Structure 1
Amino acid sequence: MTALGFLYPGHSAEDDYPRMEQLLGSDIRLDVVHTDIGTDAHRVDALLEMGAPERLAAGVGELRMAGAESVVWACTSGSFVYGWEGAHDQVRTLAQAAGMPASSTSFAFVHAAREIGAGRVAVAATYPDDVAGLFADFLRAGGLEVLDVRHAGIVTAAEVGTWGEEEVLALARQADTPDAEAVLLPDTALHTAAHLPALEKELGKPVLTANQVTAWEALRLTDRRVNAPALGTLFTREPIVQV
């Protein structure tokens, strides 16, 4: 049994995790601990507060008790808002507090894009324009070329959590460009685990979504590779070799 730990802010799309657990197989457990979201707002000040070290540290004891082998801060905006170096400091502090390998959803996107050989990407963000731009900056700092950024302008995670497949597909279509090798949907408040096959079929290319890459990153930290095609190209058996 491989136990994976996730610190998830508030309550929006956490039901993606039991869905992914079912698709990953019986020897993998996804343990979710909810952190204090503070102010539910995609604003820089609120996001910095949401990702503060003391908020994350408050949840690691429960994950240790559950036997987690790795921990991922399951929040994209609450990690990239710190910038590339600040986000590294955030996960280093989390790893020290947890006593296990740690990462965040923002780094998961960079690592996942590299895994599938996608150097040129398009971003379909639920966030307001300024926050979506910070995510694009983070991806560029990680060596990715961002071809287009579309934003839905949604301020709260609560509203994002109400979106269904139709809204998710529409946003992804708006962001996609012919030269993009993958489309990225960066919000762990967005339900996407059930929509990955439809997204990839609609766009004809890999799609990376926040909760999907978060689960994959937790596995990566434990040196596990799982074949789960229902979770998209990222979870196919063999990685695409980047040249």
Structure 2
Amino acid sequence: MPQTLLSAASSPREAREQIRSGQWASHTSGIAAGFAQTNLIILPAEAASEFLQFCQANPKACPLLDVTAVGSPAPTGLGENIDLRHDLPAYHIYRHGVLEETRADIAALWQDDFVAFSIGCSFSFEEALLNEGVEVRHARLKRNVPMYRTNIPLISAGRFYGNLVVSLRPMSAAHAIRAIQITTDMPRVHGAPVHLGDPALIGISDINTPDFGDAPTLETGDLPVFWACGVTPQLALENVRLPLAIAHSPGHMLITDIPNHRLKYG
């Protein structure tokens, strides 16, 4: 079906219903304005405590919003009638640390020992930026946010380790200052930027070639502004090499019933 059914005016329930039915398979940036979206990691219970410690040790990259009971696909803290097996547009499937495929539904892969972690997403603070007149260019252009691997190490926990992934929002210097002020108050969705300026200083060799998402549209006078990104734990999954683990496809998020304003001030 044509993917023209969802917009900023869509409700979270409407968005999830259309995603669940297969009517929407694209990224979720700009959909259901005013409501939080989350990153997703699903793994066996035997690794859950270590991953929880990893998130707690790296809250900028992995701000936890919900952890499900073992075997349950329902993140009860995020809204009603949510089923993590169906309600994201695209899932990455990892086997022994290798990204093997992307699926639109994971019901056939669900295991009774799975635990799902929902992690705060930068799409939530984008609304706050837009409300203050700060440009979010990829949203204006209806593109996915550019994301990059960096050389910034994370704090290890058990078998989980790796480097930070960041998302880019190019903007004027004045907007960058305002963006720092706004997002500092939103630590549950990554908080303030982790780097401004020269991408090479954090290990990004070519800003025009992101590792995930769409290439940025850069304009004269832009200052590159980088935030910690919820794709980060997917790299840790690669390192741990679990027999089966599942994550969201970058930019293809869970749309929750939580208003973005509730994620301010911790």
Say whether the fold is shared (TM-score over 0.5).
Answer: no
| Greater fraction strand | 2
> Greater relative contact order: 1 or 2 (C-alpha under 8 angstroms, separation 6 or more)?
2
Higher helix share: 1
Q: TM-score, normalised by structure 2?
A: 0.28
TM norm structure 1: 0.29
